[in-house]
A and B are shown apart, each in its own frame.
Chain A
Amino acid sequence: MKRKLIAAIGVATMIVGVAACGSNGDSGKSSASSITVWLTVDAQHNWPELVKAADDAIIAKHPGLKVKHEYYAWPDKNAKLDAVLATDNAPDVVEMGNTEMVPYMAEGAFAEVDPSKFDNSGAWLDGLKQSVMYDGKTYGVPYYAAARIATWRKDVAAAAGVSAAPKSWTELTGDLDKIQAKEGAKFSAWYQPSRDWYAAMSFVYDAGGAIAKQDGGQWKASLEDPAAIQGLNAWKAIEAKYMHGDLTKDESDRYIVYGQGKSAMMYAPGWEAPSAADPKFDKTGGKLKDNLVNFVLPGPSGKNMPVFLGGSDLAIPSKSKAQDLAAEWINDFTNTKGQQVLMGKGNLPNNNTQLATLESDPASAVTAEAAKISWFVPTAPGWGTVEKAKTLQDMLQAIATGKKSVEQAAKDADSAIDKVINVKN
């Protein structure tokens, strides 16, 4: 029996040995010999060369440094970030939407940065600059801004007898009606995913409404207001008439769908059109490249459609063990040269100096013009929770699929937003 025991111990020892093989030794340590950079898939798909250039620049200064990258889709990124910040594997640089910064700064998740160490920090765009400030301190670096522009295919328009891009709402809907009639019911004259709340809310702001209003320091959702309802109705009409794709989708793969050639127009950040025309995604046999035309989207109100001035910032988690290197990488990534690359992809730069050059360049004039009328999300303490709960997306999907009336959906969304918008999470 003693032998049995010895045999048992032997097996147990073997198990321990195997366990050691099973573990992955190098994953835990995050010394200054490497930094980890989290960006969204936008960078991975659309400007990988800029990422590479920043890596090369910092490695030249610190030979042997390893720069690791992880890329996340917008909807998944923060859940992953929240989890990893609990561990000792925090990334060193993380991309944040400009609407997402506040709660993280308030909770102390990000380290303070010294703006003077970054190019053009004196001229940062106001909207982005505000988004990285909390209590008078700076916790991030503006990365880029994006305005949404309309893009359509002139070959498809011409086939329907339309020769010029529309200048007014009436012209736009008239043209889209023609295209829709010509191409048939399976075609989307305007591919507008229902869960793309940035576009839908533009209709709300165009009609004079707002997502929420501030009253005596308290925020209150205002989607039920007549102006907002009017905007939602205009948006719903667009979905019903011109959107014949999957009504339960968001905008994250819009350029891929657009590349399949079953739609004429989209309303998207400037980089999406060139990406759709990339041979990887263009399934029309190369037609997109020469036929895409950008224009400023006219709004039903008669003015240009107010655009969501979206943007990204880069922040350094306070748990990062290589904060200096992280700051250095950020500057290599967002310096004047980097911004030039981003502008070439249809984005707005992070500073006013370079923004001024945009308007004179015909390639980017449309984006610069579109950015003149814009809206921004409520700067309420609980706004981050509203975004994470996907209240607006669910409301829009319910309207587009006809599950709820506009009024009912707006009412439900308002009460859901009111519950959390003033609560600091």
Chain B
Amino acid sequence: MSAAETTTAKVPPRRHSSPPAGDGRPSAAPRRTRLRLGQAATPWLLLAPCILVLVLVLGYPLIRLGTLSFQDYKKPQLWGFKPATWVGFDNYRAILGDSEFWSVVVRTIVFAGFCVLFTMVIGMLVALLLQRVSPWVRTLINIALVASWAMPVVVAVTVFKWMFDSDYGVVNWVLSQIPGVDYSGHNWFASGPEGLSVIMMQVVWGAIPFVVITLSAGLTQVPKELEEAARLDGAGAFGVFRYVTFPIIKPLVVMMTTLSVIWDMGVFAQVWLMRGGHPEPEFQLLTTYSYDRAFGVNDYATGSAIALLTVLLLLGVVAVYMRQMLKIGEVE
């Protein structure tokens, strides 16, 4: 979730149209020239601890990830009994030539795609619904959303595993109450697609609150008069949404979709725990696959190469994100 709430802070359309008054630029301008000489170092000193941490724990490992992926690095190297040797592109050749890797890639993309789609669509619908219900219903929904938002992933996974248990799970029981349907003893994790759908439900359930809460905040920015005017002009509910509401919150939606893609491509704990720490082949996503290669089969180099390929795969999404960031940078 790390980037989540930042969106709220940076995307809203308003800030582009009305330059922030508090940016301090007008009043700072004369001072800046005065201070530049002596104080150039101060902001860097203030930034130092933050940058130090980020470079140490993120920058350096990122480089290490790259070098690892070109090495032969297994248990003896990890334990320091043998030096790592360079193997060029061998790891990548092995991975890219492995049909299992490609099926994992496709599975990950499909899984993340549906997660994002459901998260955004349902999140949007609930946010719109929240504007239409009575205050007490809104409060109830808000409490439920906040509760599922705050729920630690490990806890949520455990609860979902229990709800979908084949023998004593409540979901099977409820479904079996439908006449003509017998789901008792049904095993949701016997098949990969079905099991991943359950995991998807859990991911979406956990991701919706953030989307709803952020979009709700965004929706309050939509001028009521505009909607009213559109309605008077004969636009239907969908028309109003399509031509008035959506364009206003669109930047918000784009940002949240981008972030959702990044998070949903990075789903790990849900799959890992739901499958008891050992996802079967048809449950492997890029993250678990990389982890499994590294810490399961002790091929740390191949695991790193897969991780790096995952990052590369995300680059397209990153590009969108970066463009948004640069826009903000311009406003600064």
- Touch test A–B (CB under 8 Å): yes
* B interface, over-half SS: loop
A245 touches B (CB below 8 Å): yes
Could you mark each residue 135-147 of chain A with 1 if its beta carbon is under 8 Å from any beta carbon of chain B, else 0?
0000000000000
Residues of A close to B191: CB separation below 8 A? 401, 403
Asked whether any CB of chain B lies closer than 8 Å to the CB of A324, the reply is no
Q: Which residues of B contact A186 (CB under 8 A)?
A: 167, 184-185
Asked if A86 is an interface residue, CB under 8 A from chain B, the answer is yes
A248's contact among B38, B49, B187, by CB below 8 Å, is which?
B187
A 370-425 contacts with B by CB, 8 A: 385, 388-390, 394, 397, 401, 403, 425
> Would you call A244 and B185 a contact (CB within 8 A)?
yes
Contacts of A60 in B (CB 8 A): none
Question: In the complex, are the beta carbons of B75 and A12 less than 8 A apart?
Answer: no
Q: Are B297 and A248 in contact (CB under 8 A)?
A: no
Interface 1/0 per residue, B71-106 and A, CB below 8 Å: 000111011110000000000000000000000000
Closest to A317 in B: B79
Distance between B176 CB and nearest chain A CB, rounded to angstroms: 12
Q: Which of B38, B74, B277, B298 has the most CB of A within 10 A?
A: B298
| Chain A residues near B295 (CB-CB < 8 A) | 79, 82-83
**Shortest beta-carbon distance from B34 to chain A in Å:** 10
Cα distance A247–B35 in the bound complex, in angstroms: 72
Q: Are A394 and B280 CB-contacts (below 8 A) given A79-B296, A85-B79? A: yes
A108 within 8 A of B: yes
Closest chain B CB from A293 CB (angstroms): 25
B302 to chain A, nearest CB (A): 12
B80, B167, B189: the one contacting A245 at CB < 8 Å is B167
B45 touching A5, Cβ below 8 Å: yes
- Closest-by-CB residue of A relative to B46 is A8
> A5: which B residues are within 8 A, CB to CB?
42, 45
A21 adjacent to chain B (CB < 8 Å): no
B contact residues around A109 at 8 Å (CB): 75, 79
Closest to A84 in B: B79
Task: Establish whether residues A75 and B38, one from each chain, have CB atoms under 8 Å apart when the complex forms.
Answer: no
Q: Given A82-B75, A82-B295, A401-B190, decide whether A15 and B49 contact each other with a Cβ distance below 8 A.
A: yes
Known: A1-B39, A8-B42, A82-B298. A246 touches B187 (CB 8 A): yes
A401 & B187 in contact (Cβ 8 Å cutoff): yes
Q: How large is the interface on A (under 10, 10 to 19, 20 to 34, 35 or more residues)?
A: 35 or more
Interface residues of A in 1-47 (CB under 8 A from B): 1, 4-5, 8-9, 12, 15
List the A residue with the shortest CB-CB distance to B78. A86
A8: chain B residues at CB < 8 Å are 42, 45-46
Q: Closest residue to A246 on the B side, CB-wise?
A: B166
Task: Report which of B39, B165, B296 forms a contact with A389, defined as CB distance below 8 A.
Answer: B296
Would B278 and A425 count as touching, CB distance under 8 A?
Answer: no
Q: A4 and B42: CB pair below 8 A?
A: yes
Contact (Cβ within 8 A) A1 B38: yes
Q: Tell me, yes or no, whether B281 is within 8 Å of chain A by CB.
A: yes
Interface check A76, CB cutoff 8 A: yes
**A391–chain B nearest beta-carbon distance, Å:** 10
Is A361 part of the binding interface, using a Cβ–Cβ cutoff of 8 Å?
Answer: no
Determine how close the nearest CB of chain A comes to the CB of B193; give it in whole angstroms. Answer: 11
Q: How far is the CA of A5 from the CA of B41 in the complex (A)?
A: 9
A388 and B49 within 8 A (CB): no
Decide yes or no: A247 and B187 within 8 Å by CB, A4-B42, A82-B75, A86-B79 being known contacts.
yes
Please classify how large the interface on chain B is, using the bins under 10, 10 to 19, 20 to 34, 35 or more. Answer: 20 to 34
Q: How long is the Cα–Cα vector from A103 to B74 in the complex, in angstroms?
A: 12
Q: Are A385 and B79 in contact (CB under 8 A)?
A: no
Cα A389 to Cα B80 in complex, Å, equals 24
Query: Is there a chain B Cβ closer than 8 Å to A107's Cβ?
Result: yes
CB pair B81–A107 under 8 Å, yes or no, is yes
Q: A186-B185, A246-B187 are in contact. Are A388 and B296 (CB under 8 A)?
A: yes
Question: Given the complex, which residues of A lie within 8 Å of B189, measured CB to CB?
Answer: 248
Distance (whole angstroms) from the CB of B166 to the closest CB of chain A: 5
Q: How far is the CB of A302 from chain B (nearest CB, A)?
A: 33
B38 in contact with A385 (CB, 8 Å): no
Question: Closest residue of chain B to A85, judged by CB?
Answer: B79
CB-CB under 8 A for A394 and B281, given A86-B78, A107-B79, A248-B187 = yes
Question: A310: shortest Cβ distance to chain B, in Å?
Answer: 19
> Are A75 and B278 also in contact (CB < 8 A) when A15-B49, A86-B78, A389-B297 are?
yes
Given contacts A1-B42, A109-B79, contact A425 B298 (CB under 8 A): yes
A208 to chain B, nearest CB (A): 29
Q: For residues 182 through 196 of chain B, which have their beta carbon under 8 Å from a beta carbon of chain A?
A: 184-185, 187, 189-191
The CA of A129 and the CA of B280, in the complex, are separated in Å by 34
When C-beta atoms are compared, the residue in chain A nearest to B188 turns out to be A248
For residue B123, give the distance in angstroms from its CB to the closest CB of chain A: 32
Q: State in angstroms the CA–CA spacing of A176 and B297 once bound together.
A: 39
Chain B: CB-nearest residue to A75? B278
Tell me the nearest residue of chain A to B184, going by C-beta.
Answer: A186
In the complex, what distance in Å separates the CA atom of A86 from the CA atom of B81?
10
Instruction: Report the bound CA distance from A8 to B39 in whole Å.
Output: 13
Q: How far is the CA of A266 from the CA of B277 in the complex (A)?
A: 25
B279-320 vs A, CB cutoff 8 Å, 1 = contact: the mask equals 011000000000000011110000000000000000000000
Decide if A390 touches B35 in the complex (CB within 8 Å).
no
Q: Which residues of B sit under 8 angstroms from A385, Cβ to Cβ?
A: 297
Interface CB pairs A-B, < 8 A, 7: A5-B42, A75-B278, A108-B76, A248-B187, A319-B79, A390-B278, A425-B75
Interface residues of A, Cβ cutoff 8 Å to B: 1, 4-5, 8-9, 12, 15, 75-76, 79, 82-83, 85-86, 103, 107-109, 185-186, 244-248, 262, 319, 385, 388-390, 394, 397, 401, 403, 425
Residues of B within 8 A of A (CB): 35, 38-39, 42, 45-46, 49, 74-76, 78-81, 165-167, 184-185, 187, 189-191, 276-278, 280-281, 295-298
9 nearest A-B pairs in the assembled complex, by CB-CB distance: A401-B190, A86-B78, A79-B295, A246-B166, A248-B189, A85-B79, A107-B76, A1-B39, A8-B46
